[in-house]
Structure 1
Amino acid sequence: VYFKEGNPDPVGTAQEILESGQKMYAKLSPETKEFFDFMMENELFDVFGRKDKKQGGYMTYLYQYHSPFIFANFNGTSGDVDVITHECGHAFQGYLSGQDPIMEHADITMETAEIHSMSMEFFTDPWMKEFFGDREKDFLSMQLEDAIRFIPYGTMVDEFQHIVYETPELTPQERRREWSRLEKIYMPHLDYEEDPFFSKGGFWQKQQHIYNSPFYYIDYVLAQSCAFQYKVWMDEDYREAWKSYLALCRLSASKFYPEMLRECGLKVPFEDGYFEEIVEKLEKKLHA
């Protein structure tokens, strides 16, 4: 919870959120208009809640039909708008890469794929009043803070994975102790009080990636840092930042990660001083 009065919720029904998304993407660019109209006309959203529906949200690609497909569960929270921005970032890239005759170019790795989704969250910020009304500024503040807060957490998950996979002989108690130690380094503001599970290092068991997709989580961090580059860039020159993003989506997996970023005018996260520069620029935005 980011605000005493509660987090901002979207205005309108689930159907109206989709319709607002269609209007937004029609204004963003000709490419996004074509993409979203295609999704709506072909019923490629399964996002309304219903009894016994599986939980979760994702974008997948139907190769035989050259079509992205988005699955989600709208529940009346800001997460519904995240579907229209984050998952549509994935789907938009999938829609563009589907036009590439070389199928392997669509087989992108996650540190690239998440740039498309996380950056789209920021590129759609100018239209958030349509979704949140008078609480637009609250949502934008929450969105940026949440994205920044994720960086230390995502990095902590990665370090924890290295520890537990390099030393499989650790007991459950020792694993929890390692997680508690890392929390004090990466997230010293946390206070679980006397909670019998989380206060003793149990939170990591909520993170399914540690079990299901080892060493994937750092890709989110790399991608989020690139999305921050776009956030800074679009505030200075939205049109040029969008041109770069469009080029990145079209490149897909045709080039390796560092080369692709440089070609699109982005810096590579592995370069010295990279995060210091990002933090400095974001700090100015937080205190603006």
Structure 2
Amino acid sequence: MSKEISKLKSRSEVPEELKWDLTKVYQNENELAEDIKGIQEEIKRADKLKNTLKDGSLALKEALKTYFTVERKTVKVYVYTSMLSDQDTNNKKNQGLFSQAQQLYAKVAAAFSWFEPELLALGEKKLNEYYDNDQELTGYKQYISEIMAKKDHLLSEKEEKLLAGASDIFSTPENIFGILNNADLKFPTVTDEKGNKVELSHGLYGKFLESGNRRVRKEAFQGLYKTYGQFENTFATSLAAHVHTHNFQASVRNYPDAVSAALSTNNIPVAVYDTLVERVNNHLDLLHRYVEVRKEVLNLDSVHMYDLYAPITKLPEEKYNYKNSKKIALDALSIFGEDYVQTVKNAFASRWIDVLENTGKRSGAYSSGMFDTPPYILLNWQDNLESLFTLVHEMGHSMHSYLSNHNQPYHYSDYSIFVAEIASTTNENILTQYLLDNSDDLQFKAYVLNHYLDGFKGTVYRQTQFAEFERWLHDQDKAGLPLTSQELNNKYANLNEHYYGPAITNDPEIALEWSRIPHFYYNFYVYQYATGFAAASALAGKIVKEGPASYLEFLKSGSSALPIDIVKQAGVDMTKPNYLDDAFVVFEQRLGELEDVLAKLQN
């Protein structure tokens, strides 16, 4: 008798208490429609403010306040509709609302496209006079200074309006990828460890790769990439178009290349990117050593890519269901103090979190929200240790947002993506230390150490591998060379072999990994996972030794200063390579600890 195939729940079948409560943003569609209508009316005010900045400090202040009022409402609409869309990408109505929000955002940008050119035309001398005349205006000084720093890259008013109006067109490749990846791909069934036929999904793929059964890992790995392989030309065309938009925008704004343009948004020197790639390549021997440890412990003739996430010790007997994981998270995060923990409790009680996977739900996990909403979290929960770490990771983002929103005015409340991953990975480091400190079980310690090393591999090594690939994509396009699926596959396979070393078997399927990575559509985002993890390693050590005071000030800072300076004030100078080298010291120490624990377990 054949076994019944396990299928994902539909959105309506998920219990309400495990869904995020978006009524905290809009009670109903009428409220959303009213805001959209109001924004469309307020956009008209923008034209009346045009050519007024030269009239004095009061005119500049009015323009700033008007813009931030309109932007604030628009971001609220955008965030809300994007979450509606992500909770079920099969819902055509919500897809339409999100598309409408994207177009609205582009209209707002176009309506105020005159502002930055006019501001630049004032010059520093005139702006200083304005500050002297109106102290309230100094509250926007950091924001204005960052615009003035872009003077060599801003275009004429007409050109800025044209580019702003095309922003939703530039996002088309990313939207195509999102729909294809989350809604249209149909994955095969996989036979799990118990012989059950289970429909493969993005969330279950990660769980299957952690299986102790090699057949399950291989079947999931090959099944997933067989599906992607059927659409590799479409994925390549979409990614190539996206990369081309980056190069086009960098060129018209007079940047030497796309990476310079992307990093300039947060005033990050390109040397930070280059130093990361250099330092990681200098320490690939540690990754190769870790692969060798896996080969020995798993008793394999060769390590395949689907073996890199398999547990090399006995799985923890405790089930990491959502209820238990919330308690562990609260205990681990108590190091940040009572106020921090109370807010986390509120996040759990007030349904800021969308917990379970359902059909059509966006894959992965994230923290979202804005100044006027809770900092929501999207999860695709699986009852494993990885889901606990994901919960704590995303809670780091949400607490960063919460503290920034409650300690900064709106225009400084949003923090740079460069510092975003620091808060999340600091939480992961704290959780790792908590788990190691609160167990005498050698099997469990080995599991946690292995999880840390896996996390380092995935966050520092793997994201830097992605960063190298992303840089190559843009260089290839800039040189007028093709970005077909064949070129992408060849480059990715070679890079993968370089990173993982001689102990790895470069399965042909891994050449397609680029096709399923949404972050390649985020414009040089991935390197920040690696730099953020390394900085977080330093900050976590500082918190354990000295307490969380300076770190909490970092979380409260928003964008009130340059990202590099905000992190430096918390105790880590990211303009120097030391923090990266220190992170590799911790990796090597914990790799040694794992080797010692494994040796004891064998005796």
Q: TM-score range by the shorter chain?
A: 0.7 to 0.9
1:140 alignment counterpart? 448
2:171 alignment counterpart? none
Q: Which has the higher helix share?
A: 2
2:354 alignment counterpart? 46
- 2:588 aligned with 1:283, yes or no? yes
2:549 alignment counterpart? 243
Q: State how 1:98-247 maps to structure 2 within 5 Å.
A: 98-128=405-435, 134=441, 136-150=444-458, 151-168=460-477, 169-170=481-482, 171-189=484-502, 191-192=504-505, 195-198=507-510, 201-210=511-520, 212-234=521-543, 238-240=544-546, 242-247=548-553
Asked if the contact 1:88/1:117 (under 8 Å) is kept, the reply is yes
Taking a change above 3 Å as real, the CA distance of residues 175 and 16 of structure 1, as seen in their structure-2 partners, is closer
Give the aligned residue type for 1:21: A
- 2:576 aligned with 1:271, yes or no? yes
Give the aligned residue type for 1:253: S
Give the aligned residue type for 1:209: H
- 2:383 aligned with 1:73, yes or no? no
- Per-residue Cα deviation, 1:65-124 (whole angstroms, up to 9, x for no partner): 4x2111212211112202331011011111111212411222222220000000111123
Asked if the contact 1:110/1:220 (under 8 Å) is kept, the reply is no
- Per-residue Cα deviation, 1:215-237 (whole angstroms, up to 9, x for no partner): 11111111011012124435xxx
Structure 2 CA distance for aligned equivalents of residues 49 and 173 of structure 1: 33
Taking a change above 3 Å as real, the CA distance of residues 209 and 74 of structure 1, as seen in their structure-2 partners, is same
- Per-residue Cα deviation, 1:232-257 (whole angstroms, up to 9, x for no partner): 435xxx15252232121111221112
Give the TM-score normalised by structure 1: 0.83
May I ask how many residue pairs the two structures share in their alignment? 279
- Per-residue Cα deviation, 1:153-174 (whole angstroms, up to 9, x for no partner): 2112112112122222224322
2:565 alignment counterpart? 259
Q: What are the ranges of 5 or more consecutive residues in structure 1 without an aligned counterpart?
A: none
Taking a change above 3 Å as real, the CA distance of residues 56 and 93 of structure 1, as seen in their structure-2 partners, is same
Asked if the contact 1:11/1:131 (under 8 Å) is kept, the reply is no
Give the TM-score normalised by structure 2: 0.42
Structure 1 CA distance for aligned equivalents of residues 375 and 583 of structure 2: 32
Taking a change above 3 Å as real, the CA distance of residues 123 and 166 of structure 1, as seen in their structure-2 partners, is same
Taking a change above 3 Å as real, the CA distance of residues 48 and 127 of structure 1, as seen in their structure-2 partners, is farther
Judge which range, 138-147 or 10-19, deviates more.
10-19
Partner SS for 2:369: strand
Give the aligned residue type for 1:197: E
Residue 264 of structure 1 deviates from its aligned partner by: 1.0
Structure 1 CA distance for aligned equivalents of residues 559 and 462 of structure 2: 27
Partner SS for 1:255: coil
Partner SS for 1:202: helix
Residue 51 of structure 1 deviates from its aligned partner by: 5.9
Taking a change above 3 Å as real, the CA distance of residues 174 and 190 of structure 1, as seen in their structure-2 partners, is farther
Structure 2 CA distance for aligned equivalents of residues 111 and 146 of structure 1: 22
1:34 alignment counterpart? 342
- 2:407 aligned with 1:97, yes or no? no
Structure 1 CA distance for aligned equivalents of residues 392 and 588 of structure 2: 24
- Per-residue Cα deviation, 1:254-274 (whole angstroms, up to 9, x for no partner): 111221122111121x31454
